Amino acid sequence: MLISLVVPSYNEEEAMPLFYQEASRVAAEMKKSHGTDFEFIFVDDGSRDGTLRVARELHDRDPRVRYVSFSRNFGKESAIYAGLKAAKGDYVATLDADLQDPPALLPQMLDVLLTGDYDCAATRRTTRKGEPPVRSWFARKFYQIINRLSDTEIVDGARDYRLMSRKMVDAVLSMAEYNRFSKGIFSWVGFKTKWFDYENIERVAGQTKWNFWGLFKYSIEGIVGFSTAPLIIAAGAGVIFCLAAFVGILFVVVRALAFGDPTSGWPSMVCIMLLCSGVQLFCLGIVGEYLAKTYLEVKHRPIYIERETEADRDARRSR
């Protein structure tokens, strides 16, 4: 039984050796207790530091270590997809290199899958300790909003850290869409999931690559990718303002006939015009966002481009 660990890595030069040590320790314990073999797949997402160098060194030291290096930074979603595509295991786990996703949970997660009752063992944080309060507040609001707008349930606090059966991995890989939101994809494909709760853990090294703007764009990806409700909201706003305009026209006509002097109150009229224009632009922006996603999808560009893998390195060295 082979377990593949998929580790998206962007500028994780300091954290990767620490992750490898901890994952190797857990792998040795599970070899004794479960008879499992492991492979570690590091996906270098166009890092600017020595992430690729560390991956090469780990592969030279341990043939269980494999890696995929991108030609540039394609994003974590592409890195997860590339790792799942490269994985050969009967069970595949996705987890971060910074040890915020503890490998020590893997034995419990595997025990759940071996019962045959579940195809996925996933994790979620019960606390956001260590995060800025503003970021935590917006994160909670995002989960509330997307679960109201989407038919696909996104669990609050869910991490990308999960152990999946080969059947579920193949289902995820079948969704080869360019605009990816893995939390939504994992939920959309279905399969019974067992959730493991744990408190937030600080990074062992390095700095987070996520900032507020990056998380905001990521949330928009999730909402647009798994809900068409914003389009319905835009259409509803258009209907409401058309009705309001019709009522306003009737009011102006009646006032002119009854009192004359229809030109008074122009400042309020200007404000109304600005409000209506703002709503129109807002609705146009919503439509434009969906159109942009469609535009990117129909181009059929690759999700990622490989620069180097461990197989390429081994082939060059054998010549």
274/240 same-domain check: yes
Whether 90 is covered by a domain: the verdict is yes
Placement of tokens 């492979």 in the chain: 39
Whether 27 is covered by a domain: the verdict is yes
Per-residue pLDDT reduced to its tens digit, 61-107: 899 999 999 988 888 888 999 999 999 989 999 998 888 888 888 99
Whether 61 is covered by a domain: the verdict is yes
In whole angstroms, give the CA distance from residue 310 to residue 212: 34
Take residue 1 and report the two structure tokens written for it: 């039984």
Q: Give the residue, 218 or 296, on which the prediction is more confident.
A: 296
290/170 same-domain check: no
pLDDT-wise least confident of 199-213, 241-255, 271-285? 199-213
Whether 145 is covered by a domain: the verdict is no
120/178 same-domain check: yes
pLDDT at 226 over 90: no
286/267 same-domain check: yes
Are 159 and 101 in contact, with CB atoms under 8 Å apart? yes
Residue 11 has a pLDDT of: 87
pLDDT at 271 over 70: no
Handedness of CA 186, 187, 190, 192 (dihedral sign): positive
58/121 same-domain check: yes
In whole angstroms, give the CA distance from residue 206 to residue 48: 13
Whether 56 is covered by a domain: the verdict is yes
Q: What's the 3-state SS for the chain?
A: CEEEEEEEECCCCCHHHHHHHHHHHHHHHHHHHHCCEEEEEEEECCCCCCHHHHHHHHHHHCCCEEEEEECCCCCHHHHHHHHHHHCCCCEEEECCCCCCCCHHHHHHHHHHHHCCCCCEEEEEECCCCCCCHHHHHHHHHHHHHHHHHCCCCCCCCEEEEEEEEHHHHHHHHCCCCCCCCHHHHHHHCCCCEEEEEECCCCCCCCCCCCCHHHHHHHHHHHHHHHCCHHHHHHHHHHHHHHHHHHHHHHHHHHHHHHHCCCCCCHHHHHHHHHHHHHHHHHHHHHHHHHHHHHHHHHCCCCCCCEEEEHHHHHHHHHC
How would residue 314 be classed by pLDDT, with cut points 50, 70 and 90? confident
Q: Which domain holds residue 280?
A: 229-298
In whole angstroms, give the CA distance from residue 88 to residue 66: 11
pLDDT at 39 over 90: yes
pLDDT-wise least confident of 11-15, 72-76, 207-211? 207-211
pTM (2 decimals)?
Answer: 0.72
Q: Give the residue, 37 or 316, on which the prediction is more confident.
A: 37
109/164 same-domain check: yes
pLDDT-wise least confident of 139-143, 276-280, 300-304? 139-143
Whether 170 is covered by a domain: the verdict is yes
CATH number for the domain that contains residue 175: 3.90.550.10
115/236 same-domain check: no
- pLDDT (mean) for 288-307: 79
311/277 same-domain check: no
Whether 138 is covered by a domain: the verdict is no
Tell me whether residue 205 is exposed, middle or buried, using C-beta atoms within 10 angstroms of its C-beta: 0 to 12, 13 to 18, 19 or more. middle
- pLDDT (mean) for 2-6: 93
179/281 same-domain check: no
Q: What is the phi-psi region of residue 267: left when phi exceeds 0, alpha when psi lies from -120 to 50, beta otherwise?
A: alpha
Direct distance between the N- and C-terminal alpha carbons of the chain, in angstroms, rounded to an integer: 32
How would residue 159 be classed by pLDDT, with cut points 50, 70 and 90? confident
54/200 same-domain check: yes
Q: Phi first, then psi: what are they for 46, rounded to 5°?
A: 65, 40
User: Number of folded domains in the chain?
Assistant: 2
16/162 same-domain check: yes
Counted residue by residue, the chain has a size of 319
Whether 150 is covered by a domain: the verdict is no
Q: Which residues neighbour 126 within 8 Å (Cβ) at sequence distance 6 or greater?
A: 157, 197, 198, 199
Residue 151 has a pLDDT of: 65
Share of the chain above pLDDT 70, in %: 71
Share the mean pLDDT of the chain.
79
186/245 same-domain check: no
In this structure, which amino acid lies at residue 259?
F
